[in-house]
Amino acid sequence: MAPKVSGNPAGRPKKPITDAYRGLADKPFPGDPQKRTYAQLAAEGAFKSAIKGKTDAIKEITDRVEGPVNRDLIDSGGAPITINITFE
């Protein structure tokens, strides 16, 4: 029997930007007197933008905290679908 050959011989593709984000996220931001990380300051910035009414920031926070909206639960007109559940 022949040895198994990987279906992905080159391995997972490199993601240099994602890797850079991950590398910085948990590092303290230089000069911050509260010693907050890049991730903490980015989250704070997103909340400040949301407070100012920036809908893209509101959506990002909501998606991260509550999870993305399940589009299957919205009909073609955009109105929520009413679901009645009966427990016996």
Residue 35 lies in a domain: yes
Q: Which of 68, 67, 46, 55 is nearest to 38 (CA)?
A: 46
Looking at residue 54, its pLDDT comes to 96
Query: What's the structural domain count of the chain?
Result: 1
* 1 pLDDT above the threshold of 60: no
- 3-state DSSP percent of the chain in helix, strand and coil, to 5: 45, 5, 50
- On whether residue 1 sits in a domain, the answer given is no
Q: For residue range 20-67, what is the model confidence (pLDDT) as tens digits? A: 999 999 999 999 999 999 999 999 999 999 999 999 999 999 999 988
Q: What is the rounded average pLDDT of the residues 1-25?
A: 79
Q: What's the pLDDT tens digit per position in 56-86? A: 999 999 999 988 877 666 555 666 667 788 8
Cα–Cα distance measured from residue 27 to residue 36, given in angstroms and rounded to the nearest whole number: 8
Query: Looking at the domain assignment, is residue 66 inside a domain?
Result: yes
Distance CA 47, CA 68 (A): 17
Is residue 84 in a domain? no
Q: Is residue 2 part of a domain?
A: no
- For the chain, the straight-line distance linking the first and the last C-alpha, in angstroms and rounded, comes to 57
Q: What is the pTM of this model?
A: 0.62
Does residue 86 form part of some domain? no
List the domain range (segments joined by +) for residue 68.
Answer: 17-73
